[in-house]
Chain A
Amino acid sequence: MDCKGLTVLVVDDFTTMRRIIRNILRDLGFGTVIDAEDGAAAVKILETQKVDLVISDWNMPTMNGLELLKWVRANAATRNLPFLMVTAESQKENIMEAVKAKVSNYVVKPFTAQSLAEKLQKLLFH
């Protein structure tokens, strides 16, 4: 995967998950990884920095992942940003709601590094 020049924003209220995803992205060769602890912090970053991909949890305080996704799709500058939801919310209704809000793809926790890599490959390079 040629992703050295890409900037990824990882959004999750748990440091553990941000670290796990960061490690996977580093091993895959992604250039820059930025963290945010919830949707509101992610919006502040997106308003000032260029990001190539958002990887976000769903259940977070202040602003959850679905609300963040809707903000991204409603904002002209970020409307077409690839957005991967990585979440423990795995019931069909949740997935349908994310699809309706135009999520790019969905990863259910728990996940392996390989499964995340495959989704990223499909999302960014196909």
Chain B
Amino acid sequence: MEVRMINPFLSAAVNVLTTMANITPQPGKPFLKTKDTAMGDVSAIIGITGEAQGSMALTFTESCILKLASSLMGEDYTELNDEVKDSVGELTNMICGDARRRLSETGIILQAGIPTIVAGKSHSITHIADGPRLAVPFQTKWGSFIIEIAFNKS
């Protein structure tokens, strides 16, 4: 997978959280993820089409998304309820959109669908793309999240 396809998603994650929640996530070491099991408590996945086909997923630990959703919506969430899960979908939507904008500025035009949210310990995220699945962990003052990106090889 080319760096030029990945970096816009990482920059987008930083931009979205900095702008909407006033926190600056720090990226960790990327790795290739070989299993479908999510590395967190709640995820959203969004399909990507156009000049490349694939998907992006965002997975949060419960502690991180509770604080983040509370900050976004001005509430004090203490459990992973439907409103908190919904926020993962919207964050995925924004990060993917911002990444697509960055890629369009380099001439790569992509479209995206509407995110699907899934939650629960040991839930799975299935990317349909046949290319490698790159995972990038992020740390915030509220906990961690992971971005996964996979594109078709062709």
Contact = CB atoms under 8 A, between A and B. Distances in A.
Q: Assign chain A's interface to a size class.
A: 20 to 34
Nearest to B73: A19
B100 A91 contact: yes
B93 interface: yes
B104 interface: yes
Interface string B57-97: 00000000000010011100000001100110111011011
Contacts of B83: 15-16, 19
Interface of B is mostly: helix
B20 interface: yes
A14 B83 CA distance: 9
Contact of B87 (A16, A87, A110): A16
Interface of A: 13-17, 19-20, 23, 59-61, 87-93, 108-112
Contact of B104 (A16, A59, A91, A110): A91
Interface in B90-133: 90-91, 93-94, 96-98, 100-101, 104, 109, 112-114
Q: Assign chain B's interface to a size class.
A: 20 to 34
Contact of B101 (A23, A60, A90): A90
B15 interface: yes
Contacts of B96: 88
The listed residue with most B CB atoms (<10 A of its CB), out of A61, A89, A92, A109, is: A109
A110 B94 contact: yes
A59 B97 CA distance: 11
Contacts of B154: none
The listed residue with most A CB atoms (<10 A of its CB), out of B16, B20, B91, is: B20
B34 interface: no
Contacts of A91: 100-101, 104, 109
A14 B93 contact: yes
A89 B89 contact: no
24 contacts: A14-B87, A15-B82, A15-B86, A16-B83, A16-B87, A19-B72, A19-B83, A20-B73, A59-B112, A59-B113, A61-B114, A88-B100, A90-B97, A90-B98, A90-B100, A91-B109, A92-B104, A93-B109, A108-B97, A109-B16, A109-B94, A109-B97, A110-B19, A110-B94
A88 B20 CA distance: 13
B104 A14 contact: no
Given A88-B97, A110-B20, A112-B19, 12 more contacts: A16-B69, A16-B86, A16-B87, A23-B74, A61-B114, A88-B93, A88-B96, A88-B100, A89-B97, A108-B97, A110-B19, A110-B94
